[in-house]
Amino acid sequence: MLHINKHTKLIKQKASELGFSYCGVSKATFLNEEAPRLEKWLSQNQHGNMTYMSNHFDMRLDPRLLVEGAKSVVSLMYNYYTDKKQIDNHAPQISKYAFGEDYHFVVKDKLKELLAFINESIGEVNGRAFVDSGPVLERAWAKKSGLGWIGKNANLINKSSGSFYFLSELILDLDLAYDSPTTDHCGTCTACIDACPTQAIVEPYKVDGSKCISYFTIELKENIPEQMKGKFNNWAFGCDVCQDVCPWNKFSEQHNEKRFDPSDMFLYMTHNDWQELSEHSFKELFKKSPLKRTKYNGLKRNIDFLKNKQ
C-alpha cells in the first residue's frame, strides 16, 4: 500500500508541475451507472449526426478494453478560462476554448510528458493518453475521481473554480490510490436551463446534443436548419452561454497557458472583418486553432447564417 500511495502522490505532483489544475484517480472498471444513460441518449438520437458517438459502445464503458490490464484512470483538468473578450460585440462570437492553440495538441503534449515521467520514475507502465479523443466518457471518469460533479448543463463543475476546463485521462495498468466522488452542488438553480438559446438542455442533467449551438456550428456538416434562424445569439463557433451564467464560474481564474492566448488580430476583428474573411486569411489566422475543425467553408456558412437572422 505504501508504494501505491507514493506512486499516486508522485503522479499528482508532476501533473501540478505540468500545469494541470486538478488530478484525481479512479478504478478502471465498467461504468455501470452510465451504461443505461448512454444507451437511452443514443436511442433517442440526441447525438444527431455525431455518428462516432455510437461507435465502440463497449469501449466507452470499460477502459480495460482500451488498455490491456488497466487498473487506474487518472483524470486531469486543464484551465482555459480567460477574461479577454472580442472587442466588437456585434462580431460573430467564438467560444473561449477556441481563442488560442488547439487544446488537443497543448494538453496531449503535457500528457505525453506525464506518461514519460511515470515510466521513468515508477517503472515500465502500459498506458494511453486521451484528450477529448477516443471512446472515453471523460466527464464520468472525472466525476468518479472526485474532480467535480456533472451539472445540469452536463458539464463537469468544480466547486473551487467552475467548469472552464479541458478534461483528459491516462488509462494505466498501474495500481494507484483511488479518490472518492464529490457531491452535487447545483441545488435548485436552473440558470443554464433558462439561458440556453436553443433549449438544448431538455431536462436537468440532460442535453440534446442535436439542439446545441456547438453542434450546429462545429459538428454539423450540412446546412443549418432554417428554424434555428435568430436563435444563435451571434455564436459562430461553439457557445459559452450555459457556462457564462453558471454561478460556480464566478470562481474561474485566468489560465496561465501561453499557447491558449488569443492574438490581438483575432480579438480586434470587427463585424466587417469577419464578413470579408478570405480563405487565405482564415488559414493564416487559425492555422493552429480549433476553428480548423469547421474548415473555411464551414465557418463562412456559420457567419452567413448569422447575417440573415430572420
Cα separation, 259 vs 207, in Å, equals 30
Cα separation, 160 vs 249, in Å, equals 9
132 catalytic per annotation: yes
Write out pLDDT tens, residues 246-286: 999 999 999 999 999 999 999 999 999 999 999 999 999 99
Residue pair 191/247 in contact by the 8 Å Cβ criterion: yes
Helical (H) or strand (E) element with 243: helix 241-244
Q: Where exactly are the structural domains of the chain?
A: 2-82+100-172, 191-307
According to CATH, the topology of domain 2-82+100-172 is: NADH Oxidase (3.40.109)
Amino acid 87: pLDDT = 97
Count of C-beta atoms within a 10 Å radius of residue 115: 18
**Full-model pTM:** 0.93
Task: Please give the average per-residue pLDDT across 43-56, as a whole number.
Answer: 57
Write down the catalytic residue from 62, 109, 132, 173. Answer: 132
